[in-house]
Chains A and B, each alone.
Chain A
Amino acid sequence: GIQVEQSPPDLILQEGANSTLRCNFSDSVNNLQWFHQNPWGQLINLFYIPSGTKQNGRLSATTVATERYSLLYISSSQTTDSGVYFCAVTSQGGSEKLVFGKGTKLTVNP
Chain B
Amino acid sequence: DAGVIQSPRHEVTEMGQEVTLRCKPISGHNSLFWYRQTMMRGLELLIYFNNNVPIDDSGMPEDRFSAKMPNASFSTLKIQPSEPRDSAVYFCASSVRTVTYGYTFGSGTRLTVV
Contacts and interface: CB of A to CB of B under 8 A. Distances in A.
Interface of A is mostly: strand
Interface residues of A, number: 20
Interface residues on B, range: 20 to 34
Interface of B is mostly: strand
Interface of B: 31, 33, 42-45, 48, 50, 55-56, 59, 89, 91, 93, 98-105, 107-108, 110
Given A96-B55, A97-B33, A98-B103, A41 B45 contact: no
Interface of A: 30-31, 33, 35, 41-43, 45, 48, 86, 88, 90, 95-100, 102-103
Contact of B42 (A41, A95, A96, A100): A100
B56 A95 contact: yes
Contacts of A35: 105
B102 A48 contact: yes
